[in-house]
Structure 1
Amino acid sequence: MKFSAIKKNRQKKKKSQLPLRLNILFVSVFLLFSLLIVQLGVVQILNGEEAQQEVDKTENTPSQKPVPRGEMYDADHNVVVDNDPVRSITYTPPKNGQTGNERLQLARDLAEYITIIKDEEELEEEITERNKKEYWYLLEGNQKIVNNRLTEEEQNLDTGDKYQAELDHITEDDLAEVEWSNEIYNVIAIKKELDAARGLSPHIVVNEGLTEEEYAKVATHLNQLPNIDATTDWKRQRSYENLLNGLIGGITSQEEGIPQEDREYYLANGYARNDRVGTSGLEQSYEDVLRGRKEKVQYVTNSDGDVIRSDVVVEGQRGKDLVLTVDMDLQQKVDEIVEDELRKAIDNPGNNTGFLEDATAVMMNPQTGEILAMSATHYDREEDEFKNQAYRTVYDAHAPGSAIKGATVLTGYDNGVIDIGTRLNEKEINIAGEIKDSYSDLGSSNNDLQALQKSSNVYMMRIAIALNGYNYTYGQPLALNPDAFQIFRNHFNQFGLGTETGIDLPFEATGYVGPSTQYSGLLLDFSIGQYDTYTTLQLAQYVSTIANDGYRLKPRLVSEIREPSNDGLGPIIEKNNPEVLNHVDMEQEYIDRVQEGFRRVFTRGTASGAWAGFPYEVAGKTGTAENPQYKDGKEYMTENLSLVGYTPTENPEMAFAVIVPKNGTSTSRNSINHDIGKRIVEAYYESKEE
């Protein structure tokens, strides 16, 4: 019994100890979980942002690397524009950024191997006083010194304004503490490039002037230069330096990046701020084609934010290639002809006005719209230099004179004021004492063919008077119907005169449109090409439309877009087929009649003397327009000379326009328009035989 009681007491004691231990265990676990929850709360609430940044440091971060632009080839598939590889040192900022002091140290390390500006004078000029202040500010202890100089108000400024205030407090005596040298300037210049980098896109620190030795040194020390890479960049290279000047176009540098005025557009279309883009000419018109597909790279960073690995996610592909309509050999010959004839004309002692400085020419296929050549030479009197400026054919407009009389006659036909064979009195026109007549006595009357052949001013003016709608009496004022101007312009627009031609360039001039004033004499001047102005390209489209039976073709400089290839031209992606903009709305017999008139101009009319014995069939129209110039308070009369034409007369395959403004007058002018015209037609046929 005694033993049994003892046993029961022990069992009872055991049972009482077990719940106590469990309770202690449960309490301990509860306390541990509570501490964990508290710690998580602290991390989330107090240190959440910092913790997330630490996580982000090791995430894969995407970036895009630019690729070379597409190339350009001429009609014979000769390279016109391509890309030259350039050794390049780049900097890719770490994801979590770098302080100014860290970038300064990196610049010092990089300066051990490269000099980004070789010319010492240029290097010193590149460094501004602000650059020096920023350098001094980052030297050890100086930030604290400058900060103590701030007023209480300046201490409370925003970060950017406060930094500017700190720089303003740096004195000349402070800067004098530094022994400035080209070595320090080089460090500053490198740091400026590092500061310019944005995001995780590689920023070019230096490529131009980088020597092979410098490149090799950086490449072998990359492990000591975090976020620096030695790679290959590219620059645009033109095979024909001065041909098609201004029409090929240019691109921005990486320093310029995308244009500020178009930044939203480019950023929305996947561009980075430092991407190079076309700014003019074909480089701008075909930006979407030439830009290529960027290489997409995933960067893996360590906990310090440094890039430790990169993986190519999407292979980059350089831009697509353009094949031009222009044969650069023919283009070069036309450029030489235009410059040569301009030189001769300027040196001509008989042409003594002193204003002649430009000559332009455009050649195109009237059946396809393909531009065969666009040439302009400008004589810079101040520099005494002849410059190739092809863009003037698209952007400069001049009064062409009688070259547009084909459009005037066709306007008369279509409005019923004349018909085939209509004869009009050649007697001078007198409006309230102002005499308007032809350049010489052309007989008592002429029909439509003779009017074109002889270039009658009076015939064209009588068409304008009929369109005006008011009776004309010799010697009396003539009331003006302003609608007559619009009737003329509506018809002229159908030929490309006074409207956009549609050429594949980002901008083209359409010429001056004179006001429809109350002076009827200006309407008469309009009818003979001495009021509104037109570009050489517009005149080429006009005569092409007549040559092509009234079909106005869209002119173009690009014939094909092709896939990029490492071995010549790739497959055709897109072909620019002929595009008819409009068909002149009139009977074909009227177009045929003007074509015959244009043929007679060269066989028995105003151009026959200059073109006598020429071996090829040509039809077209000559033109002269008064162009007064003013110098030192005096007026000097000069004349614009023009010429439009096409060849051969049946099934024409080449149309051309020539304008040479500000020549001498009829007593002293040269025949430069004819000289250029004959030589470019010969050059065209010679190019076909080659």
Structure 2
Amino acid sequence: MVKKKKKRAQLPFRLNILFFVVFLLFSALIMKLGVVQIVQGENYQEEINRTIKDTTKIPVPRGRILDRNHNVVVGNKPLYSITYTPEKGTTAEERLEVAEKLAPFIDMQPEDDELTERNKKEYWYLKHEDEATKRLSDKEVEKLDNSEAYQTTLDRITKEEISNFTKEQKEIINIKKELDQAYSLTPHVVKNEDVTPEEYAKVAEHLDMLPGINATTDWERTHPYDETLRSIFGSITTREQGIPKEKKDYYITRGYSRNDRVGISGLEQEYESVLRGRKEQIQYTTNKNGVIVDSNVVVEGERGKDVVLTIDMELQKKVDSIIKDEMKKAYAEDPYGNRDMDDAYAIVIDPQTGELLAVSGQHYDREEKEFSNNAYNTLYSAFRAGSTVKGATVLSGYESGVIEPGQTFFDAPIKIKGTPEKSSYQNESLGLVNDYTALQKSSNVYMFYIAMRMLGDFDYERNAPLQIESVDDAFLDFRNYFSQFGLGVPTGVDFPFESLGYEGDNIAGKLLDFAIGQYDTYTPMQLAQYVSTIANDGYRVRPRFLKAVHKPTPDEDQLGAVSKSKNTDVLNRITMDQDLLERVQEGFRRVYQEPGGTAYSYFADKEYTSAGKTGTAESTVFYRDEEGNIVDSREASNLALVGYAPYENPEVAFAIVVPNTGGEYHINDYIGERILDTYFDLKEKREGEGKEEVTNKEDN
């Protein structure tokens, strides 16, 4: 019997296909692994070992500010400083650990109200995290995002749980609060006030156990002359304040860090770009975990440049003293009449260069019975300047063609229909006056005629209405002429902001008040530029505080090479003939030097020859209640004075304004007289010292 052969078992067709697909997949996987290992292996290894390079900028001390004689007026005082520079990704737990390690080495006990409830709760949370997180149910965790869950957890920490912290724990909380304000790879000052040498040494000795902490030096601004001119020098922010929040983008785009100190007022603000210096730039290399593995200085730091001012601090202090002394005398002379005289201002300037030699503003606090510096108001506050502006009025009359050189008018009270009578001195008549005597004796009526003619009224009749061609054109012309002297327009002084004064409405009758300085208002700085323009033969120069910028030196006691010198900047030349300007100059000379001149008794008998113009303007003092409502008012006077010397070749000019005076004490004249006396006495003294120094050198 023939046996039948068994049929060989065959795998189902579909299973074969499956095996084939698996084979292909394994082949592709092996090929991919080969590509990764052989072709791209090096790239992936680099990715694994990848590091990040970040650059940190370290602040440097600001430049100094010095006066024209190289006396330091704003300097730097070195301080010990403890800083914290966190790595990227530093956690709250890690910052707390640093705070706990740092606490034994420094004293940072907080004041009673210095720690907030949140500060304390955050500390409690970190010390009891497991317990705190259990206060949220699973449903709440699912429903809330991380920040909401964290806040809810903090809310459930009770007041009792945070009420019994020890003195040591409060100090740790206070230190951590400072550490929390630091940005990654950016040094943040933890403590720089009252860091003792012992604290500095202890921290420096234990830096290896204090990640991110450094013991270094910092600085703070000093003012060797105390409050003298302090409001002009200005101020800077503190480390805690950092850059102003409202200008964050402005400063960040210019390379500042958030905790940098910047000038926020005065010359500190004006010359911020010069004084700030060049930060030291350190490049940190961190691995993918944020750990610093290397650092390298890529840009050497350089402290700020030194700014040398035009101010003469010796003269400045004397001018301040003169003003205070004369205010006291005015109070004693007539305490009731001067009961509202709280401020006085004076500017001393070189009329040919615009260099500001002294800028003084003194405010008297009647309750505290002491003076304070408010020199910045010489640029910010504007006043009616009275007859001081009559030089500009006469020149406007010449230029507009309404008067001619030597023009005469009879000075007697005038009466415009529907308005009160106007005169020069309490309804008195000065008789026939020309342009010279109108300035010398300060004739209001002469200026009224100029104003009426600029309105188009060349035939004044008593008690008749003004014959007006164009009020707007008359005001426009007058103000355009005045602007050539710096009145009512920016002076261009190198200082943040300045007031332009008040410009009244164009009312025909008010043009007469405008002509005698009783309408628009001007700042003391504008008046200083105005009289300087007259003294300087019609050239209006920019007033300035900056004399030069010097490069920094390693030794702060030394002055480096000149980086930038500030030259005289002529803004314009008045569009008036020289012979006409000389007539006003002669009128100003007669005010000071000829009998009948309104300042003759104060300046006529000096060794130097001076010229200028006095001014008295009406002012109103308002009295308010505690809610700010006006409950009473009284009329007072603004006393002003402008002048320059020597008359033949002016080297110094000044402007003085004393608002809200009363009585008969001419405080403006006394201040002006003493300022010029002091200036020339100081000049003579220095010239004598210079000759003596030369003689000593020759003898040696």
Once the two structures are superposed, residues 410-440 of structure 1 have per-residue CA deviations (whole angstroms, 9 ceiling, x without a partner) of: 1001000111100013122212241111115
Q: Given the superposition, is the C-alpha separation of residues 168 and 39 from structure 1 closer, same or farther in structure 2, using an over 3 Å criterion?
A: farther
Residue number among 613, 621, 628 corresponding to 2:620 in the alignment: 628
Aligned residues of 1:351 and 1:669 also touching (Cα < 8 A): no
TM-superposed CA distance for 1:329, in Å, is 1.0
Residue number among 87, 90, 101 corresponding to 2:93 in the alignment: 101
What amino acid is the match of 2:376?
A: Y
Q: Which moved more, 1:437-446 or 1:323-332?
A: 437-446
Matches within 5 A, 1:155-304: 156-176=143-163, 179-301=164-286
Q: Percent same amino acid among aligned pairs? A: 50
Matches within 5 A, 1:36-51: none
Q: Given the superposition, is the C-alpha separation of residues 501 and 149 from structure 1 closer, same or farther in structure 2, using an over 3 Å criterion?
A: farther
Q: Given the superposition, is the C-alpha separation of residues 149 and 385 from structure 1 closer, same or farther in structure 2, using an over 3 Å criterion?
A: farther
The whole-number CA distance in structure 2 between the counterparts of 1:583 and 1:603 is 27
Residue number among 288, 292, 317 corresponding to 2:302 in the alignment: 317
Aligned residues of 1:598 and 1:619 also touching (Cα < 8 A): yes
Matches within 5 A, 1:300-449: 300-301=285-286, 305-349=290-334, 351-431=336-416, 432-440=418-426, 441-449=428-436
The whole-number CA distance in structure 1 between the counterparts of 2:144 and 2:446 is 79
Once the two structures are superposed, residues 586-625 of structure 1 have per-residue CA deviations (whole angstroms, 9 ceiling, x without a partner) of: 1011110000000000112011123342332110000001
TM-superposed CA distance for 1:29, in Å, is 10
The residue aligned with 2:445 is 458
The residue aligned with 1:495 is 485
Q: Given the superposition, is the C-alpha separation of residues 103 and 592 from structure 1 closer, same or farther in structure 2, using an over 3 Å criterion?
A: same
Residue number among 648, 651, 657 corresponding to 1:650 in the alignment: 648
TM-superposed CA distance for 1:186, in Å, is 1.4
The whole-number CA distance in structure 2 between the counterparts of 1:281 and 1:78 is 19
Q: Given the superposition, is the C-alpha separation of residues 115 and 423 from structure 1 closer, same or farther in structure 2, using an over 3 Å criterion?
A: same
TM-superposed CA distance for 1:302, in Å, is 5.5
What secondary structure does 1:570 align onto?
coil
The residue aligned with 2:75 is 82
What secondary structure does 1:639 align onto?
strand
What amino acid is the match of 2:500?
A: T
Aligned residues of 2:108 and 2:171 also touching (Cα < 8 A): yes
Once the two structures are superposed, residues 630-657 of structure 1 have per-residue CA deviations (whole angstroms, 9 ceiling, x without a partner) of: 2263331110100000000011000000
Alignment gaps of 5+ in structure 1: 1-25
Q: CA RMSD in A?
A: 2.6
Once the two structures are superposed, residues 51-79 of structure 1 have per-residue CA deviations (whole angstroms, 9 ceiling, x without a partner) of: 96x755x4333211111111111111111
What amino acid is the match of 2:525?
A: L
Aligned residues of 1:396 and 1:509 also touching (Cα < 8 A): yes
The whole-number CA distance in structure 2 between the counterparts of 1:424 and 1:508 is 38
The whole-number CA distance in structure 1 between the counterparts of 2:605 and 2:152 is 81
The whole-number CA distance in structure 2 between the counterparts of 1:157 and 1:407 is 74
TM-superposed CA distance for 1:464, in Å, is 0.5
Q: Is residue 122 of structure 2 the alignment partner of residue 129 of structure 1?
A: no
Q: Is residue 465 of structure 2 the alignment partner of residue 477 of structure 1?
A: yes
The residue aligned with 1:145 is 133
Once the two structures are superposed, residues 248-285 of structure 1 have per-residue CA deviations (whole angstroms, 9 ceiling, x without a partner) of: 11111122111122211111111112111111111111
TM-superposed CA distance for 1:165, in Å, is 3.3
What amino acid is the match of 1:685?
A: F
Q: Given the superposition, is the C-alpha separation of residues 159 and 253 from structure 1 closer, same or farther in structure 2, using an over 3 Å criterion?
A: farther
Q: Is residue 673 of structure 2 the alignment partner of residue 678 of structure 1?
A: yes
Residue number among 97, 108, 113 corresponding to 1:116 in the alignment: 108
TM-superposed CA distance for 1:526, in Å, is 0.7
What secondary structure does 1:430 align onto?
coil
Q: Which moved more, 1:105-114 or 1:164-173?
A: 164-173
The whole-number CA distance in structure 2 between the counterparts of 1:36 and 1:214 is 60
The residue aligned with 1:640 is 638
Q: Given the superposition, is the C-alpha separation of residues 193 and 425 from structure 1 closer, same or farther in structure 2, using an over 3 Å criterion?
A: same
Q: Is residue 596 of structure 2 the alignment partner of residue 596 of structure 1?
A: no
Residue number among 55, 65, 68 corresponding to 2:61 in the alignment: 68
Aligned residues of 1:498 and 1:511 also touching (Cα < 8 A): yes
Q: How many residue pairs align between the two structures? A: 645
The residue aligned with 1:9 is none
Q: Given the superposition, is the C-alpha separation of residues 30 and 412 from structure 1 closer, same or farther in structure 2, using an over 3 Å criterion?
A: closer
The whole-number CA distance in structure 1 between the counterparts of 2:448 and 2:130 is 83
Compute the TM-score of the two structures, normalised by the length of structure 2. 0.87
The residue aligned with 2:551 is 563
Compute the TM-score of the two structures, normalised by the length of structure 1. 0.89
What secondary structure does 1:60 align onto?
strand
Residue number among 47, 52, 67 corresponding to 1:59 in the alignment: 52
What amino acid is the match of 2:207?
A: L
TM-superposed CA distance for 1:34, in Å, is 5.0
TM-superposed CA distance for 1:147, in Å, is 5.4
What secondary structure does 1:246 align onto?
helix
TM-superposed CA distance for 1:445, in Å, is 2.1
Aligned residues of 1:496 and 1:538 also touching (Cα < 8 A): yes
The whole-number CA distance in structure 2 between the counterparts of 1:282 and 1:27 is 76
The whole-number CA distance in structure 1 between the counterparts of 2:671 and 2:59 is 45
